[in-house]
Amino acid sequence: MAKLNRRNWIDQFPWVMLGIRTTPKETLNTSFMEIMYSAPLTVPGEFLPNMKSDPNVKRYLAQLRDSVGQLRPVLMSTHSTPRSSVPNDLHTANFVFIQCDTRRKPLQSPYNGPYQVIRPGDKSF
């Protein structure tokens, strides 16, 4: 992709921009888009050009298949781990409320309980 001939550079421009945004940087071993969104970039259909009725559609599609066929994926890395924290007061609590993530009626509490703590642990009760 670095060596584009001058005749069809505009046809390759969306792919070049996509490559710039998704290519992992050597110092970070990840792309800027992955850092920004904490996930690999999902490519929408907007990057593909709109084709109008053109007699050279078959030739263009063949060139596009060849260009895309030469692309190779690069492994992405994950630089962060999900954080979990337990408040200090929870280790000494006798009763707890549990959050219920189901659909609720208006003015219904998002928590169930109180439940008695039988045996406290580091990550479970």
Of residues 121 and 114, more confidently modeled: 114
For residue 110, the model assigns a pLDDT of 92
Q: What is the DSSP letter of 27?
A: T
Residues sharing a CB contact under 8 Å with residue 73, sequence separation 6 or more, in sequence order = none
88-120 per-position pLDDT tens digit: 888 888 998 999 888 889 999 999 999 998 887
Residues sharing a CB contact under 8 Å with residue 8, sequence separation 6 or more, in sequence order = 63
What ranges in 1-123 are assigned the alpha helix state H? 9-22, 32-37, 57-69
**What is the spatial distance between Cα 118 and Cα 95, in angstroms, rounded to a whole number?**
9
